[in-house]
Structure 1
Amino acid sequence: MEEQSNFYKVCVTGGSGFIGSCLVKKLLERGHTVHATTQNLGDESKVKVLKSLPNAETNLVLFQANIYNPDEFGPVIEGCRYVIHLATPLQHNPAGAASSSPYKDTTEAAVAGVRTIADLCSRSATVKRLIFAGSVMAASPFKEDGSGYKACNDESCWTPLHLPYSSLKNDMDLLAYVRSKTLSEKELLGYNVGELEVVSLICGLVGGDVQMLGYVPMSVRAVVGQLTGHPFSYLGLKSIQELSGSVPLIHIEDVCEAFIFCTEQSSMKGRFMCVAVDPTISEMAEYFQNKNPKLKIQDGLIVEAEKGSCCDISKLKKMGFSYKYDMDVILNDSINCAKRFGLLQL
């Protein structure tokens, strides 16, 4: 299975998304061959970005694949050494398969998707490691009895899905996302037996700016939710605060480097917290007001929030990974991204 070359073939599901497009770019720049999926090859706005990347003409192969039809990922994975699974359904609207979908919701679709992809990797003669994009929303340090937070938010934490989180009760899509990320990650880690190595990066809220994208990613919208006042964006930020006891953050550049780091290790498996900093929502508000006095927090969105739990990010660091972007850069780059698209006005 081991190759002598320093260049290898990597599958990236969800390759046209925020993390996916940045990750594909970095892999191509390093000389690797990339198999990337998108839900619709006819979506010129996304496909054009990927095809314009350095080395894309020779080293990038695009596939149309939908998580609601996980068998479509077979040809994508074929011949790959590493599989980085980013794709996840955000809303229950399976493109082209709404009436015939065997799944009742996003959770069923996400779990079935990781099961099929893990099975394909296990049967593959080439795949060494399957790397999953986990979420801090699946790793809440809330105690099972709902009495408060554990002192530390680390890889042992799983979100108790039976608790009535106040920020989630009025948004079924967000609640479904938390359930799908939690249960699909648990499903995937069950494959960490035999020769296949399974890694889950528990990613914080991803901020920053990617110039090549023609939109503001949902996670960046959440980062600046207190400034825009957009209800859904702010709700996402507030939900992370409630679930995590803070707002774990990571820059888009760091999270992509973390995924690549996972492909470069001789052996690696299990969960790894992938978070650079963990301010509270009120600490973020204070930063915005102090560093950007011309930008105002929207009325009613200055929320006093004490830190309920601190993220332990030592596990990934002990393996040699280092974060290059601090809170100042994460928040400032997110502001700049929102400004470029007119979401924030001076």
Structure 2
Amino acid sequence: MGAGVRVCVTGATGYVAGHIVHRLLEKGYTVHATCRDPSNLKAVGHLQRMPNASELLRLFPADLLTPGAFHEAVAGCTYVIHTASPYVIDSQPGQEEEELIKPAVFGTENVLNAVNAAGTVQRVVITASTASVFTDAYERGEGHVFTEADWNVYATPTKFPYFYSKKLAEQRAYEMCKEAGGRWALCSINPGAIWGPPLSSRLDGESINQCLDLMSGVMWPYVAEIAMGMVDVRDVARAHIAAMENPGASGRYLINARSGFLLVDAVRVLRKEHPKQWVPPLIGPRFGAMLFAPMLGLPRDLCAAMLGRCPIIDASKAAEDLGMTPDSYILPESTISEMAAALVAKGMVPSFRMPIIPLVVFSVVLLLALMAVGLGLGLSALGVSRRF
């Protein structure tokens, strides 16, 4: 299908991009893969070992923030899949503009400027996120059904700046597409939390670090009921390529396997299949979740917004245009199972790491519970009636 057709994939060493490159090579496309340093075998080795890579894969050095860096890679390409983006959820106060917002927007402009300069590109697909759609599942009212028409109204440059940066970058892409006057079409893929087996041993996927923390004791002994609109990384890759190949595809696409999947559901799978790992056995209290939120790479206010709040997402557009029907998604349980198995097989799961903060919180909760029980027994012994 892809014989002789060139596709540029930006950020090719990344978690999602690796799966996209793998599928493209299997289909026979010639892939122009950009990365910071093509000579770094630790970063690009897994790409070079992919099927058909020796004949169809070309690596190009390109930094997201270097003007003109993508012109060579995009030249002669029919399609561009732009996955590269800064990922810093919890930026330093006062540094949001420099760390997140400007890089996200400029990086998008940089790639699309190369698209305009090439003159051969027919279609661009960008990796967006539900972060540009919403922050809090209830921000538009409980029961609101999110669609592609929704844009995040809650995030600001200082409150949830990562979410704000994703929105601005995606909006800027559509502005530039309009300015191009129809020379190329644009689609954006908006998945939730991306989990699933990595193709490399790099730790550049946030969910990879979260899964490792769950398995190595960092979050032991409890985990919170954090909502996860989970999507398998392989389904995300499939959606990108479907949007690229379908000439009728246009605009945004929400990708969603199961909105009601919670972090505790992931933990149940891990505990069952990896009983020797330090997977949390308990569901923790809300205030405990606030304390260990940074270990998930989440600001505490974002963790609060996700506790038990499952977004309702209408992904029917992706089903109709991209073939992403509900029964075609990899089940979240399989995603977790296969991700953990891959991490173990690659030797990426570290030995037990002492979870200081969760352990302290658990100890305090246990102490308070014992004190309450002791007080109750004491009052009973004194014949004092407890009325609440």
Fold conserved between structures, TM > 0.5: yes
Q: Is residue 172 of structure 2 the alignment partner of residue 187 of structure 1?
A: yes
The answer for the alignment partner of 1:12 in structure 2 is 9
Residues 303 and 224 from structure 1, CA distance in 2 versus in 1: closer, same or farther, beyond 3 angstroms? farther
Greater Cα shift, 105-114 or 279-288: 279-288
The answer for the alignment partner of 1:343 in structure 2 is 349
Does structure 2 retain, via aligned residues, the 8 Å contact 1:154–1:311?
yes
Does structure 2 retain, via aligned residues, the 8 Å contact 1:135–1:181?
yes
Separation in 1, partners of 2:216, 2:164: 27
The answer for the alignment partner of 1:277 in structure 2 is 258
Aligned amino acid, residue 124 of structure 2: L
Q: 2:123 aligns with which of 119, 129, 138?
A: 129
Separation in 1, partners of 2:127, 2:350: 29
Structure 1 gap ranges (5+): 93-102, 170-174
What is the SS of the residue equivalent to 1:54? coil
What is the SS of the residue equivalent to 1:221? helix
Task: Report sequence identity in percent.
Answer: 23
The answer for the alignment partner of 1:219 in structure 2 is 207
Does structure 2 retain, via aligned residues, the 8 Å contact 1:224–1:334?
no
1:224-235 equivalence runs, <5 A: 225-228=213-216, 230=218
Separation in 2, partners of 1:139, 1:162: 10
Separation in 2, partners of 1:284, 1:71: 45
The answer for the alignment partner of 1:153 in structure 2 is 146
Q: Displacement, 1:293?
A: 7.7
Residues 15 and 285 from structure 1, CA distance in 2 versus in 1: closer, same or farther, beyond 3 angstroms? closer
Aligned amino acid, residue 49 of structure 1: H
Deviations 1:274-310 (A, max 9, x none): 2212234355257437744825643776467434421
Deviations 1:146-200 (A, max 9, x none): 5744521221222234469xxx97xxxxx44323212111111223322221111
Q: 2:196 aligns with which of 192, 208, 211?
A: 208
1:7-156 equivalence runs, <5 A: 7-90=4-87, 104-140=98-134, 142=136, 146=139, 148-149=141-142, 151-156=144-149
What is the SS of the residue equivalent to 1:319? helix
Separation in 1, partners of 2:193, 2:68: 30
Separation in 2, partners of 1:342, 1:83: 32
Q: Displacement, 1:42?
A: 2.9
TM-score, scaled to structure 1:
0.78
Instruction: Compute the RMSD of aligned alpha carbons.
Output: 3.3
Greater Cα shift, 133-142 or 280-289: 280-289
Residues 87 and 303 from structure 1, CA distance in 2 versus in 1: closer, same or farther, beyond 3 angstroms? farther
The answer for the alignment partner of 2:314 in structure 1 is 312
Q: Displacement, 1:338?
A: 3.5
The answer for the alignment partner of 2:93 in structure 1 is none
Does structure 2 retain, via aligned residues, the 8 Å contact 1:12–1:85?
yes
Residues 287 and 76 from structure 1, CA distance in 2 versus in 1: closer, same or farther, beyond 3 angstroms? same
Residues 88 and 162 from structure 1, CA distance in 2 versus in 1: closer, same or farther, beyond 3 angstroms? closer
Greater Cα shift, 21-30 or 186-195: 186-195
Does structure 2 retain, via aligned residues, the 8 Å contact 1:141–1:149?
no
Does structure 1 retain, via aligned residues, the 8 Å contact 2:269–2:333?
no
Aligned amino acid, residue 124 of structure 1: A
TM-score, scaled to structure 2:
0.71
Aligned amino acid, residue 34 of structure 1: V
Question: Which one has the largest radius of gyration?
Answer: 2
Structure 2 gap ranges (5+): 90-96, 287-306, 353-388
The answer for the alignment partner of 2:301 in structure 1 is none
What is the SS of the residue equivalent to 2:177? coil
Aligned amino acid, residue 68 of structure 1: L
Aligned amino acid, residue 180 of structure 1: S
Separation in 2, partners of 1:139, 1:56: 36
Residues 225 and 140 from structure 1, CA distance in 2 versus in 1: closer, same or farther, beyond 3 angstroms? farther
How many residues are treated as equivalent by the alignment? 314
What is the SS of the residue equivalent to 1:71? coil
Does structure 1 retain, via aligned residues, the 8 Å contact 2:155–2:163?
no
Does structure 2 retain, via aligned residues, the 8 Å contact 1:226–1:285?
no
Greater Cα shift, 51-60 or 150-159: 150-159
